[in-house]
Amino acid sequence: MPPRRPANLADLSVPLPPPRPVELSSPLAAPSAEGGAPAPQANAAVAAPEAPAAVVAAPAPPSRPRDLAASLALVVPQIQNPALPVLQQAAPPQQAAPLQQAAPPQETRPPAPAVAAPLRIDAPLPPARPRSLAALTPAEQPATEKNPAPAVPTPQAPAAASAPAQQVAALSEPVLRPAPEGSFNQPDQPPARFNMGAPVYIRIFKKEGELELWLKHNGRYALYRSFPICKWSGRLGPKLREADYQSPEGFYSVSARQLHPHSNYHRAFNVGYPNAYDRQNGRTGGLVMVHGNCKSVGCFAMTDKGIEEIYGFVEAALAGGQREVPIHIFPFRMTEAAIARESSEGGFMSFLATEPSEGARWAGFWRNLKEGYEIFQQTGEPPTAYACGDHYSFDAAGASCKRIAGW
In whole angstroms, give the CA distance from residue 53 to residue 331. Answer: 158
Catalytic residue among 217, 230, 260, 291: 291
- Phi and psi at residue 324, in whole multiples of 5°? -145, 150
Concatenate the DSSP letters of all residues of 94-158 into one string.
PPPPPPPPPPPPPPP-PPPPPPPPPP---PPPPPPPPS-GGGS-TTTSPP--SSPPPPPP-TTHH
- Phi and psi at residue 74, in whole multiples of 5°? -85, -30
Instruction: Count other C-beta atoms under 10 Å from residue 353's C-beta.
Output: 17
Q: Are strands 325-330 and 200-205 parallel, antiparallel or unpaired?
A: parallel
In whole angstroms, give the CA distance from residue 176 to residue 281. Answer: 69
Helix (H, G, I), strand (E, B) or coil at 270: strand
Whether 217 is catalytic: no
Return the beta strands (E) in 171-233 as ranges: 200-205, 210-217, 220-228, 231-232
Residue from 111, 86, 109 nearest 11 by CA: 86
In whole angstroms, give the CA distance from residue 266 to residue 295. Answer: 11
In whole angstroms, give the CA distance from residue 246 to residue 265. Answer: 19
In whole angstroms, give the CA distance from residue 306 to residue 226. Answer: 10
Amino acid, single-letter form, for residue 25:
S
Whether 388 is catalytic: no
Helix axes 336-343, 363-379, angle to 10 degrees: 160
Q: Residue 349 burial (CB < 10 Å; 0-12/13-18/19+)?
A: middle
In whole angstroms, give the CA distance from residue 263 to residue 193. Answer: 30
Helix (H, G, I), strand (E, B) or coil at 83: coil
In whole angstroms, give the CA distance from residue 307 to residue 301. Answer: 9
Catalytic residue among 266, 299, 328, 401: 299
Name the residues annotated as catalytic: 291, 299
